[in-house]
Amino acid sequence: MMLKIMPLEEKIMKNIKKSMSIFLAIVMTFSILTLTVNATTLDIAEKDEECSHNYNSVVTAPTCTKYGYTSFICSSCNDTYYKDIVPATGHNYESTVVAPTCTEQGYTKYTCACGDTYIDEYVDATGHRPLISAYVNTIPATCIKKGSYDIVTYCIDCNTEINRVTERTPATGHNYINGKCENCGVEDVYYYNGTFRIETPSRTEIRHRDGIKLHAKIDGNAPSGSYIMWTADNNNFNTTKLNNGKTLKIVSEKRGTTVFTATLYSNEGKVLDTDTIEMNSKAGFFQKIGSFFRSLFNNTVIYEN
């Protein structure tokens, strides 16, 4: 921040220094001329009486900002005068260019051998060049957990991290083979390798008011919590669930064919297997008369299978 403020001040200071140098040089020159005149006047006045003067000369070289001169000092009476005034040399700057970086200004620094320095010709910072992207912090997804990785953008010049975005990868899901996940070993709650069917009944034609029990049978493995549901495509039969749903008692009521479907569901309600059977309800006019008389003698039949 300082660097940004300095240029103008530096320039002003530089100008002030220059002006001051010239001003001082003029003032000093006048002073010395006055001193010289005074000394000369005094010399004339007191020369003969007091000192014959034996002057030693001392040369003072000019500097960047101060004039040079030769001092003449009398070794006997210290009477002094100055001659051979030489102007200040002025600064002789050497320049050093400092290149800008992504975040810092560049500039040229001017340095004189006397130690005086100033800075000029500021150049804006170049800014980052976000060109390199890398994929890091990769956390692989598991069967049930998301994975992630970071996309990191760096500056090609200074390698500063400029941007980082975390991307998620979806969970892979289990890959069940024979009821077990080959990746994590978890058991498949839907695993079912049995056979599910409606046992073939002893008859498919049922007289009016007679009935039969349809049995759904699971052979082999069925996951725990699985259950059976029955449906019919019409209401020709009156139905009653028995034996925890494994058996459906059907009783002929109206004439017609009915398709019964037994479905095996997993504990979570997923269909594991299904089977159908077609049953015929013999409930025509004459069958109904027959069943009426059979019922009088308590002679209707529910077949076990």
Interface contacts to Zn ion, rule CB under 5 A? 51, 53, 64, 74, 76-77, 79, 91, 102, 112, 114, 116, 128, 143, 155, 157-158, 160, 174, 181, 183-184
Name every residue whose Cβ is closer than 8 Å to that of residue 13 and which is 6 or more positions away in sequence.
Answer: 118
Task: Report the nearest approach of Zn ion to the CB of residue 37 (Å).
Answer: 17
Nearer to Zn ion, 53 or 66 (CB): 53
For Zn ion, give the closer residue by CB, 77 or 289: 77
In angstroms, the CA 150 to CA 138 distance is 7
In whole angstroms, give the CA distance from residue 54 to residue 230.
141
State the nearest-atom distance from the C-beta of 245 to Zn ion, in Å.
32
Tell me the closest approach of the beta carbon of residue 53 to Zn ion, in angstroms: 4
Tell me which H or E stretch contains 187. none
Pairing of strands 256-265, 227-232: antiparallel
- How far apart CA 176 and CA 167 sit, in angstroms, is 27
Query: DSSP assignment of 99-164, as one string?
Result: ---SSS-EEEEEEETTS-EEEEEEE------EEEEEEEEEE---SSS-EEEEEEEEETTT--EEEE
Decide whether 115 or 220 has the Cβ nearer to Zn ion.
Answer: 115
Least gap, CB of 24 to Zn ion (angstroms) = 15
CB of 137 to Zn ion, least distance (A): 22
Nearer to Zn ion, 88 or 251 (CB): 88
